[in-house]
């Protein structure tokens, strides 16, 4: 007992210290890249900036608005008018002797730091819940306590030091702000702060249409609570307890009764729906006011959500739709648009919801991973977000298959992407198929990653069920 | 008295400092205001009259140009270059007299009519991605003005023939007989222009009059027969065009040939008698004309020799010739700033468009002419059209005056931007710069991204590149005109040269190479993408569908079946022991009954399907 306490104390003292050192180092690294005289022009990389998240287009939209034109005139800006009001003035001001957009870069650094801190808080909550759920399984108590990794710190540092996150922050993309909105919604749901969760969801959906499916994991988080094990396991435990008439079994049954009777909190969910409606109305009113003389909300929906759903811009990116719709025949374009937009809805959202409703945070990770593969204009910022959420489950996913192979695939295709782009656009020795082939390979590895993660999580839950059964026998 | 239709023809010849000859044909056809009930023409082309009346055209100009005007050697500050230096390809602008909502419809109909009339692809300007609506950067200041240009249109002889059909004498008689196709299209510059304008009549019940002005401007290189290299080449009409003028168009009111010579500064100071002066000028120590001019008119910088071809005939054709006796040099008057435009950047992803304005020698003479708030300034209007596949970032506009960057408010007095929309409309930018008179150079740059198009949107030769139409730089405070000292209301050509015209110059047409997708890949892309998605869908559903609980239940059901078999065996053994063989036949009867019922059901289904098939096939 004393030794265990000492170990816990030593670990508790060391972890925050190391975490803050690494956090400060990542911030310094970002600032060095931003103010570096090397002038790495990442703002026009197709992997970093898309027509939806490019800061150059936001600056163009702000210039048009200052010139008494609609910010959506000219097929340039397709983002949020609120984001335009916040970041637009920063794109105009210039620090003396420096290039432009430095203030926006500082905003993105702050967004990354906030995202990391919120991820850490989410991870600590998850870890505490995981430990509490494993405590009733007496056989696994001692070994699992020592083996549980600090997933909050790991996820935060994975987010900060992920090259994809650094590229999005330094490359003048608005992905860090979209990622911050998503993490705010998850943090609000994990800590059961319903207005904050609703605010994060509305802002995330407003900035990016593909954050809308997050409403389901948020409802499960608020209804069922934090990642709870399947209820079937506790039913079997109670059943085993009832069968045996020993005193120790009776005591176990008493301990497990509150967990078994955990209900779905409809009251909290209705509270959440109410706040979603409140924030939705508020955001729509603000957008309507800012676009009052330029077509109003109809123009905004057409230029933002319509632009996403219709895949109007055929500029290359790391997704697969730009080349598909550049090559597809015009008469079948509408048919293919409907097919691929419904593909996300019908393939991933319902089937995952049924199997992973007891793990809302992991469900959120799965949704974000699928949409980042299948969205119209993906970028590395989307991969940065779901990789960090994946790191929240390092304890559950230790038995994931092909993890090293997938890791090498990610590195390989990420490094090959600028090479293929250089061959195609600048040297001319390649053509568009080079870059498209790289995008296809990258999509394959993302599919494999998500599939193996879901498989590992389901296997982990089955292992928990077996452990519960063994405990019942004992 | 009732006015009658008038037709005039004129030819202006002008030697150029770079050893070339400019030939400017000018035909003017006037239709007076007439009764609106009907219009019958004697000289005026009926197609033009119907076109003006049908589409309510107030003013229109259409030009077919091949080659590029050399502003440094051929002139930049005279009416000829201001009015006849046109961008390459087809250029069309029109001002309509219709309500604002019908301007675009009239423009589309006009382009189709002109396309059929002039045997050109002017109907391509119908698309909203091909034309713009300038406000003040272009010449006419009107909100019903539409402007479009096709830089890639190839101008050839099939464009000249319908143009000549509008003339009363075609190319059979008169000055137009000189238009020999090989000679005209062999030159360095060729521009045929058609200008339409309506003249309102003050009386009620009368329609508006129409003035049709057709000009052909060519720059030709005479054959060099002189031994001395620095001598100006001598030429004659027959050597330039391969044809002669054997008489004037009998329908023409006036038919004159003009020869304009610049740079004869030695004779300006002489105040001699007109007759003696004329006699001395056309034969002197420097050059000699083959025919004696009717009149000689002095202008501020040049002399104009006037010839009347009415006296020519078949036996004595009009063959004006110019013979140089000794080398002569002069320079043309140029615009205040010489403009050029070029692309910056490399690769197929992005770049910048730059306009460079450089001071010319003529600028010093113009200093001090315009005073704004006590300071000497030059105003320059820049008008550009950007196609929709060039994504221009207007916020990256930068202006450098004498290599120093200026903020927009210092030199940019006015700017009007209409951004381009993908596949819908082209972009337009109008800027007014106010520059100090002592400026040496002005550079304007704006960044753009190159678009990625659908494979159907590429032209047949996709690797050649895409054209950005010429930009127009005009100087609103400067006007070009010839300052004749005598009244010349007789000749329409001289009247038009005497009028003040806006000094303007067109820049180069830019050629932007865009990256091309692999045009042979549509099926491959569709099949590979759909295959990968199907594989992902299958593997994901397999992971989600699999349940270990189901596997356990499956094993239990298998065990249940086995136990059933054991029961049957035990029952048989007991039956044998007890000696009761009746049970086995009963089970066999049950099986036969089940089989018979299934068989009957199948027979009924097949019969129903056959009946339905027969019924529907009979209907068909």
DSSP annotation string for B311-327? G--SSS-B--EEEE-S-
Buried b (16+ CB within 10 A) or exposed e, B504-527: bbbbbbbebbbbebbeebbeebbe
Residue A386 forms contact with B (CB below 8 Å): no
> Please, what sign has the CA dihedral across residues B546, B549, B554, B558?
positive
Q: Is A454's CB within 8 Å of B543's CB? A: yes
Cα A26 from chain centre: 20
Nearest CA in chain A to B520: A327
How many Å apart are CA A305 and CA A205, to the nearest integer? Answer: 10
Q: Which class for A306: exposed (0-12), middle (13-18), buried (19 or more C-beta within 10 A)?
A: middle
Q: Is A44's CB within 8 Å of B350's CB? A: yes
Nearest CA in chain A to B416: A67
Q: List chain B residues with CB under 8 Å of A442.
A: none
Amino acid A93: pLDDT: 58
How close does chain A come to B437, measured CA to CA in Å? Answer: 29
Amino acid A247: pLDDT: 43
Interface of A with B in 140-199 (CB under 8 A): none
Q: List chain B residues with CB under 8 Å of A75.
A: 388, 391, 419-422
Q: List chain B residues with CB under 8 Å of A343.
A: 533
Q: List chain A residues with CB under 8 Å of B450.
A: none
Q: Is A327's CB within 8 Å of B526's CB? A: yes
Q: Taking chain B, what is the end-to-end CA distance rounded to the nearest angstrom?
A: 80
CB of B339 closer than 8 Å to CB of B355 = yes
Q: List chain B residues with CB under 8 Å of A64.
A: 394, 417, 419
Contact residues for B265 (Cβ-Cβ < 8 A; gap 6+): none
Give the tokens for residue B344. 């910056």
Q: Count other C-beta atoms under 10 Å from residue A425's C-beta.
A: 19
How close does chain B come to A271, measured CA to CA in Å? Answer: 31
How many Å apart are CA B262 and CA B260, to the nearest integer? Answer: 7
Q: Is A75's CB within 8 Å of B532's CB? A: no
Amino acid A185: pLDDT: 92
Residue A73 forms contact with B (CB below 8 Å): yes
Q: Which class for A138: exposed (0-12), middle (13-18), buried (19 or more C-beta within 10 A)?
A: exposed
> Residue ranges of the domains in chain A?
47-88+99-140+148-235+263-473
Amino acid B160: pLDDT: 86
Q: Is A316's CB within 8 Å of B537's CB? A: no
CB of A377 closer than 8 Å to CB of A314 = no
Q: List chain B residues with CB under 8 Å of A432.
A: 515-518
Amino acid B271: pLDDT: 44
How many Å apart are CA A11 and CA A18, to the nearest integer? Answer: 11
Give the tokens for residue B563. 């136990």
CB of B410 closer than 8 Å to CB of B416 = no
Residues A393-398: what's their mean pLDDT? 80
Q: Which class for B337: exposed (0-12), middle (13-18), buried (19 or more C-beta within 10 A)?
A: buried
Of B393, B516, B543, the CB nearest to A56: B393
Q: Is B543's CB within 8 Å of A425's CB? A: no
Nearest CA in chain B to A303: B421
Nearest CA in chain B to A330: B456
How close does chain A come to B28, measured CA to CA in Å? Answer: 43
Q: Give which of B72, B68, B63 is closest to B16, Cα–Cα.
A: B72
Nearest CA in chain B to A353: B544
DSSP secondary structure letter of residue B66? E
CB of A448 closer than 8 Å to CB of A408 = no
Give the tokens for residue B335. 């615009």
Nearest CA in chain B to A445: B536
Residue A44 forms contact with B (CB below 8 Å): yes
Q: Which class for B19: exposed (0-12), middle (13-18), buried (19 or more C-beta within 10 A)?
A: middle
Output the CA–CA distances (angstroms, integers) from residue B526 to A124, A336, B297, in the order listed: 45, 10, 75
Give the tokens for residue A346. 């019908």
Amino acid B363: pLDDT: 53
How many Å apart are CA A323 and CA A330, to the nearest integer? Answer: 13
Q: Is B393's CB within 8 Å of A76's CB? A: yes
Give the tokens for residue B22. 């400019």
Work out how many CB contacts closer than 8 A connect A with B: 124
| Range of weakest confidence among A104-108, A460-464, B301-305, B310-314 | B310-314
Q: List chain A residues with CB under 8 Å of B348.
A: 425-426, 428
The pair phi, psi for residue B357, each rounded to 5°, is: -110, 120
Confidence of residue A386 (pLDDT cuts 50, 70, 90): very high
Which position has the higher pLDDT, A207 or A130?
A207
HEC assignment per residue over B421-475: ECCCECEEEEEEEEEECCCCEEEEEEEEEECCCCHHHCCCCHHHCEEECCCEEEE
Residue A104 forms contact with B (CB below 8 Å): no
Of B347, B348, B522, the CB nearest to A328: B522
Residue A345 forms contact with B (CB below 8 Å): no
Q: Is B539's CB within 8 Å of A343's CB? A: no
In a mutagenesis test of the A interface, which of B529, B539, B542 is the best target, namely the one with the most A β-carbons within 10 Å? B529
Q: List chain A residues with CB under 8 Å of B517.
A: 323, 326-327, 431-432
Q: Is B421's CB within 8 Å of A313's CB? A: no
Nearest CA in chain A to B515: A425
3-class state of residue B260 by DSSP: strand
Q: Is B541's CB within 8 Å of A351's CB? A: yes
Q: Is B394's CB within 8 Å of A64's CB? A: yes
> Please, what sign has the CA dihedral across residues A120, A123, A129, A131?
negative
Q: Count other C-beta atoms under 10 Å from residue B614's C-beta.
A: 10
Q: Is B528's CB within 8 Å of A69's CB? A: no
Q: Is B522's CB within 8 Å of A425's CB? A: no
Output the CA–CA distances (angstroms, integers) from residue B517 to A439, B20, B192, B454, in the order listed: 15, 45, 38, 8
Amino acid A330: pLDDT: 77
CA angle B427-B432-B438, nearest 5°?
140
How many Å apart are CA B574 and CA B565, to the nearest integer? Answer: 15
Strand partners for B199: B209
How many Å apart are CA B184 and CA B173, to the nearest integer? Answer: 17
Amino acid B49: pLDDT: 84
Residue corresponding to tokens 């008018």 = A81
In a mutagenesis test of the A interface, which of B540, B545, B550, B552 is the best target, namely the one with the most A β-carbons within 10 Å? B540
Buried b (16+ CB within 10 A) or exposed e, A183-204: bbbbbbbbebbbebbbbbbbbb
Q: List chain B residues with CB under 8 Å of A424.
A: 515
Q: List chain B residues with CB under 8 Å of A443.
A: 532
How many Å apart are CA B340 and CA B76, to the nearest integer? Answer: 13
Amino acid B568: pLDDT: 62
Which position has the higher pLDDT, B363 or A290?
A290
How close does chain A come to B464, measured CA to CA in Å? Answer: 14
CB of B14 closer than 8 Å to CB of B73 = no
How close does chain B come to A128, measured CA to CA in Å? Answer: 28
CB of A377 closer than 8 Å to CB of A308 = yes
Q: Tally DSSP H helices, then E strands, for chain B.
A: 14, 27
Of A325, A330, A447, the CB nearest to B536: A447
Looking at chain A, the whole-number percentage of residues with pLDDT higher than 90 is: 15
Give the mean pLDDT per block of 10 residues along chain B (620 residues). Answer: 72 84 87 64 81 83 86 78 84 88 88 88 85 81 83 82 84 81 83 84 70 88 68 81 79 82 55 50 74 73 77 74 76 78 81 86 52 68 88 86 75 84 85 82 88 84 84 82 61 75 82 84 86 82 67 61 60 64 47 66 83 67
Interface of A with B in 437-456 (CB under 8 A): 440, 443-444, 447, 450-451, 454-455
3-class state of residue B15 by DSSP: strand
How many Å apart are CA B44 and CA B198, to the nearest integer? Answer: 13
DSSP of B133-161: --SSSSSS--TTEEEEEETTPPP-HHHHH
Give the tokens for residue B77. 């500050």
Which position has the higher pLDDT, A395 or B559?
A395
């Amino acid at each position: 007992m004393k030794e265990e306490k000492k170990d816990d104390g030593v670990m508790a003292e060391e972890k925050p210290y190391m975490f803050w050192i690494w956090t400060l180092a990542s911030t310094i690294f970002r600032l060095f890249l931003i103010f570096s005289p090397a002038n790495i022009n990442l703002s026009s990389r197709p992997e970093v900036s898309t027509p939806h998240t490019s800061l150059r287009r936001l600056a163009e939209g702000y210039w048009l608005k200052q010139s008494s034109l609609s910010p959506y005139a000219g097929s340039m800006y397709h983002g949020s008018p609120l984001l335009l009001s916040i970041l637009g003035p920063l794109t105009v001001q210039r620090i003396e002797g420096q290039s432009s957009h430095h203030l926006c870069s500082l905003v993105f650094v702050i967004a990354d730091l906030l995202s990391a801190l919120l991820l850490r808080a989410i991870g600590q909550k998850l870890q505490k819940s995981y430990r509490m759920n494993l405590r009733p399984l007496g056989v696994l108590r001692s070994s699992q306590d020592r083996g549980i990794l600090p997933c909050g710190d790991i996820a935060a540092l994975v987010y900060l030091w992920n090259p994809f996150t650094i590229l999005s922050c330094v490359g003048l993309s608005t992905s860090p702000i979209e990622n911050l909105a998503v993490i705010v919604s998850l943090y609000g749901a994990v800590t059961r702060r319903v207005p904050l969760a609703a605010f994060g969801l509305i802002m995330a959906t407003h900035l990016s249409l593909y954050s809308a499916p997050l409403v389901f994991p948020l409802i499960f988080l608020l209804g069922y609570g934090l990642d709870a094990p399947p209820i079937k396991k506790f039913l079997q435990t109670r059943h085993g307890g009832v069968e045996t008439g020993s005193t120790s079994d009776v005591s176990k049954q008493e301990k497990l009764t509150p967990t078994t009777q955990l209900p779905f909190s409809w009251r909290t969910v209705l509270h959440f729906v109410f706040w979603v409606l409140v924030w939705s109305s508020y955001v729509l009113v603000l957008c309507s006011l800012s676009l009052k003389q330029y077509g109003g909300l109809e123009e905004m929906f057409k230029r933002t959500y319509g632009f996403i759903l219709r895949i109007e811009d055929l500029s290359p990116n790391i997704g697969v739709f730009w080349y598909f719709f550049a090559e597809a025949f015009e008469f079948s374009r509408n048919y293919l648009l409907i097919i691929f937009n419904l593909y996300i809805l019908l393939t991933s959202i319902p089937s995952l919801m049924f199997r992973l409703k007891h793990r809302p945070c992991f469900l959120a990770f799965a949704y974000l991973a699928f949409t980042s593969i299948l969205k119209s204009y993906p970028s590395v910022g989307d991969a940065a977000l779901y990789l960090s959420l994946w790191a929240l489950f390092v304890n559950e996913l230790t038995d994931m298959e092909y993890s090293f192979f997938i890791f090498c695939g990610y590195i390989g295709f990420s490094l090959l992407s600028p090479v293929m782009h250089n061959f195609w656009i600048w040297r001319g020795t390649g053509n568009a198929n080079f870059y498209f082939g790289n995008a296809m390979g990258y999509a394959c590895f993302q599919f494999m990653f998500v599939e193996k993660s879901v498989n590992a999580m389901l296997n982990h839950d089955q292992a928990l069920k077996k452990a519960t059964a063994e405990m019942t026998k004992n | 008295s009732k006015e009658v239709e008038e037709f005039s023809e004129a030819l202006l010849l002008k030697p150029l400092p770079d050893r070339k000859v400019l030939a400017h044909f000018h035909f003017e056809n006037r239709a007076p205001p007439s009764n609106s009930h009907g219009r019958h023409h004697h000289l005026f082309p009926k197609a033009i009259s119907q076109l003006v009346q049908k589409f309510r055209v107030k003013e229109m100009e259409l030009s077919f140009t091949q080659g590029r005007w050399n502003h440094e050697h051929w002139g930049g500050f005279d009416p000829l270059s201001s009015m006849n230096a046109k961008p390459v390809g087809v250029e069309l602008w029109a001002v309509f007299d219709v309500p604002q909502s019908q301007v675009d419809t009239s423009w589309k109909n006009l382009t189709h009519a002109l396309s059929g009339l002039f045997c050109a692809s002017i109907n391509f300007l119908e698309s909203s991605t091909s034309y713009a609506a300038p406000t003040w950067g272009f010449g006419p200041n009107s909100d019903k003005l539409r402007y479009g240009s096709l830089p890639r249109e190839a101008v050839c002889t099939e464009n000249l023939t319908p143009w000549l059909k509008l003339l009363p004498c075609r190319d059979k008689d008169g000055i137009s007989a000189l238009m020999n196709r090989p000679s005209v299209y062999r030159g360095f510059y060729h521009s045929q222009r058609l200008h339409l304008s309506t003249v309102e009549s003050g009386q009620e019940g009368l329609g508006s009059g129409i003035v049709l002005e057709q000009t052909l401007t060519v720059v030709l290189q005479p054959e060099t027969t002189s031994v001395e290299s620095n001598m100006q080449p001598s030429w004659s009409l027959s050597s330039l065009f391969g044809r002669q003028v054997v008489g004037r168009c009998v329908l023409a009111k006036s038919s004159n040939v003009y020869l304009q010579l610049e740079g004869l500064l030695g004779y300006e100071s002489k105040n001699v008698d007109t007759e003696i002066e004329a006699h001395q000028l056309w034969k002197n120590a420097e050059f000699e004309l083959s025919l004696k001019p009717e009149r000689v008119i002095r202008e501020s910088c040049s002399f104009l020799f006037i010839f009347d071809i009415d006296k020519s005939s078949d036996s004595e054709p009009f063959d004006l010739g110019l013979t140089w006796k000794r080398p002569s040099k002069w320079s043309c008057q140029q615009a205040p700033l010489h403009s050029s435009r070029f692309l910056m950047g490399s690769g197929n992803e992005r770049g910048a468009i730059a306009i460079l304005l450089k001071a010319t020698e003529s600028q010093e003479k113009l200093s001090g002419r315009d005073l704004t708030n006590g300071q000497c300034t030059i105003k320059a209007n820049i008008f550009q059209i950007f196609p929709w596949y060039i994504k221009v970032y207007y916020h990256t506009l930068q202006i450098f005056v004498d290599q120093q960057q200026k903020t927009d408010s210092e030199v940019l007095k006015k700017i009007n931007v209409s951004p381009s929309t993908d596949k819908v409309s082209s972009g337009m930018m109008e800027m007014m710069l106010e520059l100090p008179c002592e400026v040496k150079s002005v550079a304007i740059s704006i960044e753009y991204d190159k678009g990625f198009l659908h494979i159907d949107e590429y032209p047949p030769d996709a690797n050649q590149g895409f054209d950005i139409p010429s930009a127009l730089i005009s100087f609103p405070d400067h006007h070009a005109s010839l300052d004749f000292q005598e009244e010349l209301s007789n000749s329409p050509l001289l009247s038009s040269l005497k009028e003040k015209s806006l000094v303007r110059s067109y820049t180069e047409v830019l050629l932007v190479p865009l990256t091309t997708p692999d045009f042979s890949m549509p099926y491959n892309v569709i099949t590979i993408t759909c295959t990968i998605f199907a594989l992902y869908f299958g593997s994901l559903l397999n992971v989600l569908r699999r349940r270990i609980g189901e596997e356990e239940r499956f094993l239990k059901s298998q065990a249940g079946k086995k136990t059933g078999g054991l029961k049957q065996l035990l029952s048989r053994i007991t039956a044998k022991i007890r000696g009761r063989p009746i049970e086995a036949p009963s089970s066999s009867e049950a099986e036969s009954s089940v089989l018979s019922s299934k068989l009957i059901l199948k027979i009924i289904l097949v019969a129903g399907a056959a009946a339905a098939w027969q019924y529907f096939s009979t209907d068909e």
